[in-house]
A and B are shown apart, each in its own frame.
Chain A
Amino acid sequence: MIVFPGNTRITTTPSFPVAGSSKVCVYDVNDQATLDQQCQFYKERLCGIELDAEKLERIKSLANIRISTLRICVSSLDDLHYIDRLIQDIKGKNTAVILKTGKDILRVVNYLTGFRIKILISPVENEIFIPVLDELIDFYMHQTTVRSPIEPFHSILQTMINLTRITLWDILQEKPGFDFYITGEGKITLSKRWAENGRYFGSTNQSWDTLRTDKLFQKIQNPNKLFFAEQSECVFCPHFTQCGGYFKIFNADADCKPWKKVFATLQEEIQNVRRILTEYGKTEKTAK
């Protein structure tokens, strides 16, 4: 059974417990007993629990759970009912909701941000989010009372402002060499998205040394280098520093235009703010 190094984060199911000292996120938690068991087993190593909103019906209470991130998948407006039942417990935790619906999106984000619950949207779920991206980014940027981040907008904005080298890979928990995902069949890859695209490094019955010599694993240790080597159009893109080629890693023809627009919008907002601050600085100097 594989033992990951301590400085890694493994996302796994209850069926494949992870030994060692790595941090662990557990998905597919379906009831209170499983939840309690995972908390008991991983203790301080547990950095996240992920479950579908409807599974919350089988959770009596989250009050005594100490976890740094509770991730709840919401697939419809109706799913908010399950969250609402436990909202007093949930709002106190470092909670994130993974949105799986674009329908009634404003209602859903209104509800969640009202409780300062972080919202995550998956940029590759185009069918769901492309129709509502404009609305969502407008909400995030211009709603005065929003106090919780909508990812990946928030982290992208931070990286643009602070000029850091954080990309979508980091934001969406696909940091090669750090993040690992174990499927329900015990296969190991980078994330659920990679599993859905049939890309794996190995499996849980291998050793760490075998896994890290896997060709794919080696190849993606520096994704930026990969794109330059392939002379991908991504390396000419003004948004590569935020995106890192996230959209085109599996398919060079993947459509990333809507997200380019998002990046451009965020960039423009930052420029506006900088202009205002520069003008204000000039006015201050004149006033003095």
Chain B
Amino acid sequence: MEKRKKQQNKKNKILSIVFMPTFSCDCTCDYCFEINEPVTVKDDFWVKIFEAFRIYSEKAGFTKLRFYWQGGEILTMSPEQVKKGLEECTSVFKASGIHIEHRLQSNLIAYSSDWAPIVNEYFHGHIGSSLDFPNLYRKTASLDQTVFVERWIEKKELALQDGISVSVIALPNNQTFINGAESFYNFYLNKAKLKSIQINFPFIPPNSTFSNMPDMERFAQFMEELYGIWIQSDRSLRIEPFGKLENAVFHDDNCLTCIWSYCCAFSLLAIDPLGRISQCDCWSSSFKEHSFGDIRYQSIETILESPNRKKFLERPLKLLQNTECGNCTYWHLCYGGCPTRATTMAKNFFSKDPYCPVYKKYFLYSLKT
């Protein structure tokens, strides 16, 4: 079944869309890279958005679209609003032959059982969320970091009762490394009682006062230790990117995370509530000057020819030709990493991802193991 799914994925031409129908958020996380604005897609704009994608997908030959609903915070909208959007999408793509999938990302703080029918019907009964350990930066106006975690766990349990599974993105910080990989692992497995987590690599939001970047050396050490624990525990907790890397190396599965794809611009786009297209949510509100265009005034096909997008397309080859990435043993696993991290941390779009030392150590360790 797995093999058939892989083969099917190989035949499918898939476009992933980071879909941000709102910039509103109920959290005040210190490290957030988005600007919290009370901007939400208008009722009559849903159709315009989905029609623009339908026209483009038909021309470009995409057979599958994945809409990753994130914000802001989706749950700050009403279930009715979101349902309207989902229904408009279904209607627009009906008889197009293009397969549509929806995925939901939420901080879960505003979750209630009212959401369960929509999540179960449209989002495969699953919510992707975020939870750090230890939680130093995630909070709301009324919930400090500690209470935030408790509230989150409560909401997660509620979602589970409603038949909804939850996975998280975890952003390690320097305290994580001090606490150690074992306590990290135990927290997610036993305290948060999760089945799946994804480790992301934090970056400094532009124009932000937040500056607590992780220590690279300790991060690398942490990744090694965590990987070892993961293997020893027989992979009882699903951890990405560990699983995806193993699939890529041992099962020839080409589905590494976006930061390690050859060029994220090949198959990923973001659209904000006003119809502005950019590379992904990292660029959408923080780097408006890097936006590609606006579907209110242009077709997606034209927007994608924007010089701002061309940079994303050119970046991998430039890294290969002009930097140490071209000679790197791990080029096929990393391709120079994430342009967002290069831009925000190394201040150079055409430089390699500053997490390079962390990736290298992790790749070496996991390949040896």
A contact residues vs B (CB 8 Å cutoff): 77-78, 80-81, 84, 88, 104, 106-107, 110-111, 113-115, 143-147
Contacts and interface: CB of A to CB of B under 8 A. Distances in A.
B91 interface: no
B147 interface: no
B321 A77 contact: yes
Contacts, number: 45
Interface in B229-260: 248-249, 252
B317 interface: yes
A145 B320 contact: no
B336 to A, nearest CB: 11
7 contacts: A110-B326, A110-B327, A114-B262, A114-B332, A115-B262, A144-B249, A145-B332
B317 A145 contact: no
Contact of B331 (A77, A104, A114, A147): A114
Given A84-B316, A107-B321, 17 more contacts: A84-B317, A88-B266, A104-B326, A106-B327, A107-B320, A110-B327, A110-B328, A110-B331, A111-B317, A111-B331, A114-B262, A114-B335, A143-B332, A145-B249, A145-B332, A146-B332, A147-B252
A110 B262 CA distance: 12
A145 B248 contact: yes
Contacts of A110: 320, 326-328, 331-332
Contacts of A115: 262
Interface in B307-331: 316-317, 320-321, 326-331
B284 to A, nearest CB: 24
Interface residues of B, number: 19
A235 B249 CA distance: 41
Contacts of B329: 143
Contacts of A78: 321
Nearest to B321: A77
B29 interface: no
A106 B321 CA distance: 10
B367 interface: yes
B333 interface: yes
A113 B249 CA distance: 14
A130 B328 CA distance: 22
Given A106-B326, A110-B326, A80 B320 contact: yes
Nearest to A83: B317
A40 to B, nearest CB: 22
Nearest to B323: A107
Contacts of B321: 77-78, 80, 104, 107
Contacts of B332: 110, 113-114, 143, 145-147
A217 B337 CA distance: 54
Nearest to B248: A145
A31 to B, nearest CB: 23
Contacts of A80: 317, 320-321
Contacts of B335: 114
